[in-house]
Structure 1
Amino acid sequence: MTKEPIILDMDPGIDDAVALSIALTHSEFDLKLLTGVAGNVSVDKTTANLIKLVEFFNRTDIPVAKGAAAPLKKAFKDASYIHGASGMPGYDFPEPVYQPLAQDAISAMAEVLSNASEPITIVATGAYTNIALLLQQYPKLKSKIKRFVLMGGSLSGGNVSSVAEFNIFTDPDAAKIVFESGVDITMIGLDVTLKALLSNQTIADVASMGTVGKMISGVMTAYNDVEATGKPMHDVNTILYLLHPEFFTLKDFMVYVITDGPAIGGTIADTQDRWSNGQLNAHVAIDIDAKAFENWFIEEIPKMNAYRG
């Protein structure tokens, strides 16, 4: 079986942590690099959380690099009110021993891409600061990027303002660079992630499913992002999409990112083709089989336990 080569750019963060847990243990992925970025909490904490999970799953064969500590232009404000002070509360991880690379995330990504024998998928589940800097500093490597699979954005309303989703809002200038890059983009935003919920009962049930279940249930229980019928695992949807694209309904749009004013961080699709003259820049997920998501998630826990041993 051919594995898909992937760079994961993240800001764990609880839902990032769950997404990474699946990616670290899944046989279909060849994880080339993990990079941390400031977002849910500071970049020092997000990078430390990446390492905690790499050690938890005995995957210290995967390099980890620390990336941008702040957005390109906007003042940084974390989401510790949602994800806790550490970004990953709810489970007592040992202090990490494994060290991140000496080089920064942007140069580490450039090195991986330069040495790749085939284009690599970059999955970004935090602010897009690192990948925007990669595009700016290493424009000749754009052809080595197969696609961006992005958690972020929304066409139906935001979670940090009436229009803006957190990842885009955190660094809208970076998001604008990414959406204007010409790289193939799949946008997995709030339009689907707020439908893909784990019920409180499911979260409680997962706690009894071995060491991995205890860890995942612990961090999810500490997660303060709550909808009426459960908790959204936003970032997990990027990994699900790579494994089961058939669970999603996608539609191509020209998506614009708003970088100032009251709609800052908004992602606007030109649904009436008033401005884009037929141009399209993103495959946008607009619906998901929510029951299939929850069933798949539950089925993954025993596989992760078996992998960890």
Structure 2
Amino acid sequence: MMYDAFAILMSAYHPSLNLLGITTVHGNSSLPHTTHNALSLLTAIGAPSIPVYPGSANGLTRPAVHAPAIHGASGLDGTTLLPTPINTHATEPFIEAMSTALLSTPKGTAWLIATGALTNIALLFEQHPEVAEHIKGLSLMGGAIGGGFTNAPMGKVDDRERIGNWSAWAEFNILVDPEAAQALFSNPVLRTKMVMIPLDVTHLVLATGEVQSLLLHGKGGGAASVLEDGKVGEGKSTLRKMLVELLLFFAKTYKDVFGIEEGPPLHDPLAVAVILDGIAGAEIPFYDFEDGKDRKERYDVHVVTEGSHEEAQNGAETGRTIVKLLPEGEEGVKIPRNLDVKRFWGVLEDSLERANAVNRANGVS
């Protein structure tokens, strides 16, 4: 959930966005943990009034699966600076809250952003299919393609190349509830409004040492060191130090497990950033076409639902996202192949500085 922190930060503080609310879901940790973490993060960034709704504790048909080896037992290990939440979670049922919030917006303006298991989203459209026609789009971080879709390093486990991060074939968010993912990709209305950000894209955006310094010290901070005597330095604010501590915890686990040493990928905020593509004054260019071809590419996406979570760990393709390029002009799922990485980090830093300003105004260092 470390990268959820950056997704929430950008959603709450980008001037072109209005974060209506957050639903939590089973995934990196249990639902009580992910709900507490969301509330704590909102307090840390000075936005505790944004409502949080506990969502699904299990998949549509499968038990929950967690990732303590990557994110720690709490789902957000690595720092002692997370504050006690100021507010408690909302009590309204999450599906009704999502439907009400989205339908209250002008038609064709609201984005739904999924950065975890897709259970909550699948239940929303199952019970309120009219929301699919109403929203502008659904952006999700999930899936893995492979086959040279991008030049991103996908990592190795036991010296074996793989395309997934939770199994050899599958990305975690899709694998933990593949039935939910397949329900969304097969929805005839949603499939033309969906943007999928797979590992092939997120692994292009690595939080290198230079990026870590930017996040800790801000723009103009020079080449100041992130680590002092093996610990994260004080930096420009407590919030910045907390986020970099979380980042370095994730960097270590990603290095130890997947062998990616340059820095960890920052998955989830890309699902937020992609909806800014094309917005005047806020653009983060994403390139949804193959190098050398200046044309729009759209895809059909199929999720493998056969097999258990255990079988996936033993080589089954459960949770794999199989993509097929559609004929030119046919609408389908947008899957970018690249983005302006430098611009992305600049926009994220701007959001972080806005959060710092709010905290300072509230007397938080």
TM-score (norm 1): 0.88
Determine whether 1:186 maps to 2:195: yes
Alignment equivalent of 2:269, drawn from 217, 223, 236: 236
Verify: 1:17 aligned to 2:5, yes or no: yes
Given the alignment, which residue of 90, 98, 102 partners 2:91?
102
- The secondary structure found in structure 2 opposite 1:30 is coil
Question: CA 1:116–1:289 in 2, change beyond 3 Å: closer, same or farther?
Answer: closer
What's 2:154 paired with?
none
Corresponding position of 1:149: 139
Deviations 1:246-284 (A, max 9, x none): 5321131111111114111111112387xxx99643001
| 2:236 is the alignment partner of 1:209 | yes
Give % identity.
32
**Who is 2:303 aligned against?**
257
Does the CA contact (< 8 Å) of 1:179 and 1:281 recur in 2?
no
Root-mean-square deviation over aligned CA pairs? 2.2
Distance change (3 Å), C-alpha of 1:177 and 1:219: same
Preserved contact between residue 154 and residue 189 of structure 1 (Cα < 8 Å): yes
Q: 1:296 to 1:113 in 2, by over 3 A?
A: closer
Q: Which stretch of structure 1 is more off in the superposition, 297-306 or 44-53?
A: 297-306
Equivalent residue, structure 1, for 2:335? 284
Q: In structure 2, what is the Cα distance between the partners aligned to 1:205 and 1:249?
A: 25
Report Cα offsets for 1:154-194 as digits up to 9, x if no partner.
Answer: 21121112221111011100000111122110001111101
C-alpha distance 272-244 of structure 1, shift in aligned 2 (>3 A): closer
| More off after superposition, 29-38 vs 97-106 | 97-106
Aligned-partner Cα distance in 2 for 1:85–1:171? 20
Once residues 270 and 204 of structure 2 are traced to their aligned partners in structure 1, the CA distance between those partners, rounded to angstroms, is 11
Q: Conserved in 2, the CA contact under 8 Å of 1:65 and 1:103? A: yes
- Residue segments in structure 2 that go unaligned for 5+ positions in a row: 147-162, 217-234, 279-283, 289-296, 308-315, 361-365
Letter in 1 for 2:355: M
Residue in 2 that maps onto 1:122: 112
SS in 2 for 1:150: strand
Contact 2:62 2:177 in 1 (8 A): yes
Q: Is the counterpart of residue 293 in structure 1 residue 344 in structure 2?
A: yes
Aligned counterparts of 1:97 and 1:104: Cα–Cα separation in 2:
21
Number of aligned residues: 294
Report deviation, 1:299: 4.6
TM (norm. structure 2) is 0.75
Distance 1:111 1:205 in 2: 38
Which residue of structure 2 aligns with residue 78 of structure 1?
Answer: 66
Residues in 2 aligned to 1:163 and 1:270: alpha-carbon distance in whole angstroms:
16
Q: Which residue of 1 aligns with 2:180?
A: 174
CA distance in 2, matches of 1:18, 1:73: 30
Q: CA deviation at 1:204?
A: 4.7
Counterpart of 2:322, as a letter, is I
Alignment gaps of 5+ in structure 1 = 1-12
| 2:171 corresponds to which of 162, 165, 182 | 165
Contact in 2 for aligned 1:254/1:279 (Cα 8 Å): no
Give how far 1:48 is off.
1.0
For residues 198-226 of structure 1, the C-alpha deviation after alignment (integer angstroms, 9 at most, x for no partner) is 11343255331323211211111121234
Residues 254, 272 of structure 1: alpha-carbon distance in 2 compared, 3 angstrom cutoff? closer
Worse overlay, 224-233 or 175-184: 224-233
**Residue 206 of structure 2 corresponds to residue 197 of structure 1:** yes
Report SS of the residue matched to 1:123.
strand
Higher strand share: 1
Match of 1:10 in 2: none
Q: What's the CA shift for 1:115?
A: 2.9
Contact 2:206 2:266 in 1 (8 A): yes
The whole-number CA distance in structure 2 between the counterparts of 1:263 and 1:278 is: 30
